[in-house]
A and B are shown apart, each in its own frame.
Chain A
Amino acid sequence: MKVGLREVAFARSGDKGDTANIGVIAIGEIAYPHLVEQLTADTVKRYFRAVCRGSVERYELPNLCALNFLLHESLGGGGTVSLMLDAQGKTFAAGILGLEIDVPKTVIDECRQISAGNLPGRGRGAPGSVR
């Protein structure tokens, strides 16, 4: 079913010059393959087309069940050159979580259980359990 990305992931964003980075982290390991499949660089570029003037690169971190996106030419020149209110891309993380994703209900349920603290997060008490 279609839900906002925030149901199955969380994120953090920052800057390097005129490039914003957004790390997107799956809440449950079970959600990660769906992020890899649906959260392509093209999808993210389209979603942020109002702010991202350059290309979008994607890196996979299966060990952390995370994807790292680099949004080039997105911060109005970056640093103190930028006239943007959010010249460091700090709000991009919350922004990307509004993207829509199509995942099975079981995935959503498991992520909700983890968010509510009813299920352990990744790697709790089990060395090496994180791929």
Chain B
Amino acid sequence: MPEIVRVASGQGFWGDWQEAPKLQVRHGPIDYLMLDYLAEITMSILQKQRQRDPSAGYARDFVPLMLELAPELIEGGIRVLTNAGGVNPDACREALLAGLSDVRTGRPMRIATVHGDGLMDRLDELLAAGHELQNMETGEPLSTIRDRVYSANAYIGAEPIRSALQGDADIVITGRSTDTALTYAALAHEFGWGADDWDKLAAGVAAGHINECGAQATGGNTLFDWRGVDLLAPGYPIIEASADGSFVVTKHPDLGGRVTWATVTEQLVYEMGDPRDYITPDCVADFSTIRLEDLGSDRVRVHGVKGAPKTDQLKVSIAYHAGWKATGTLVYAWPDAVEKAHRADELLRGRLDALGLEFDEIRTEIIGAGACLGRVASPPQNLPEVELRVGVRSSDREAVERFTREIAPLILAGPPSVTGFAGGRPRVQEVMAYWPALIDRDVVESNLRVDVREAAP
């Protein structure tokens, strides 16, 4: 058993900094690279892409990244854990295998995929079997919106990733694995943690939570001395874990960013609910037991984490069609910029009203005069310019389309000193709403499958 296992974070969401994973591989020794690509809304976008093209539905950026790094991964003995598979892990692997045939890696790479989190094809069968998939927030059964569902995926944990690692996979591609599992699966595998080692698994969850948002744990987005952090080329977090579950958060020393008690604490409280009840597929972590020790030199030790047994259910992330929306903007300049923007908004609303259009919501924000924090932040008087931002949402696509044609007329038939319409007519977007639900874990776990394939030598 190794004394220390190093799991580096290389991507905190799809669209994160492309250089980060390369720097993690090239600027010092690591054992695992975890790449998180999925957010709640990502799955529905990928599902739509797959409907149009059966070979799509995964995080495409992942493949060229792996092709570039493959020789270095083999040389450095670095294994990759990622949820880049989205709703189509097989297609992701096929693209990777095809690309690897032109890359010299010394030995053939082994690529694993994890299947079984996707519930879209089983939805009617599950509903018929009495799984209501009630909305966790409203209690409504899924049947009320069944015909509008775009995607349905269970959040799955570390077990299938462990199986893949036991099968000597170099790269493990999952669908909707939890973000945290991409870190602690490596630790559970390397240290041989039991499925009921609740405290160790909970420590792994804390490590995963610190890793899952990339630079947000190493000084990115910090409100503690934000001026003092060099973020030109930030080192993303690296977890140096020990078998007992304790770990050190650090980064490569020659990269930017910062790891202190403050940056780690900020990430720990990010997107937190009840800190004593952090529910994952593999355990329930208690974040009120976490102890931090700032060792200096960008090293923070984390220990003492307690966990409780896993629950009987898994969370399911469901996305469904919930109408259409569009947002239009115009800039009004000094003097009386705010007043002009308000006048334009009145005209716009009046014209929409006269057309008899129905909207579920019309929202007006004056950017520059408190759009983000309302009355919390007080704007100075007579601003040099503000941006009027009006959004509408409706189940009637035609109404939203018509709205998009009512912005430009305000330039000539509206208040003065207006500019900023270079972007053209606003785009109509489909609204994809999120439906969180629970399902008996056996229903999902009995269906999980791991498949390891070797690239052609």
Contact = CB atoms under 8 A, between A and B. Distances in A.
B292 A122 contact: yes
B260 interface: yes
Nearest to B429: A80
Contact of A95 (B287, B361, B376): B376
B296 A130 contact: no
Interface residues of A, number: 56
Contacts of B294: 120-125
A75 B11 CA distance: 26
B50 interface: no
B416 interface: no
Interface stretch (B119-127, B139-147, B269-277, B336-344): B269-277
A17 to B, nearest CB: 6
A95 B373 contact: yes
B224 interface: yes
Contacts, number: 160
A73 B402 CA distance: 29
B223 interface: yes
Given A63-B290, A121-B260, A25 B269 contact: yes
B327 interface: yes
B291 interface: yes
Interface in B356-387: 361, 363, 365, 367, 371-377
Given A50-B374, A83-B325, A91-B373, A21 B261 contact: no
A12 B432 contact: no
A57 B203 CA distance: 25
A77 B363 CA distance: 12
Nearest to B262: A121
B290 A64 contact: yes
Interface string B238-277: 0000000000000000000000111001111111111110
Nearest to A50: B374
Most buried by A among B266, B267, B290, B361: B266
B211 to A, nearest CB: 16
Contacts of B376: 47-48, 50-51, 95, 98
B167 interface: no
A91 B262 CA distance: 18
B223 A63 contact: no
Which 4 pairs of residues, A with B, have the shortest CB-CB distance? A23-B269, A50-B374, A83-B391, A14-B271
Interface of B: 40-41, 137, 216, 221-225, 260-262, 265-276, 287-296, 304, 322, 325, 327, 361, 363, 365, 367, 371-377, 389, 391-393, 429, 431-434, 436
25 contacts: A11-B223, A12-B221, A16-B271, A21-B272, A23-B269, A25-B224, A25-B269, A61-B275, A62-B288, A66-B265, A76-B363, A79-B40, A79-B434, A80-B432, A80-B433, A83-B327, A86-B371, A95-B372, A97-B223, A98-B377, A117-B225, A121-B261, A124-B295, A125-B293, A128-B291
Interface of A: 6, 10-12, 14-18, 21, 23, 25, 27, 47-48, 50-51, 59-64, 66, 68, 70, 76-81, 83-86, 91-95, 97-98, 115, 117, 120-130
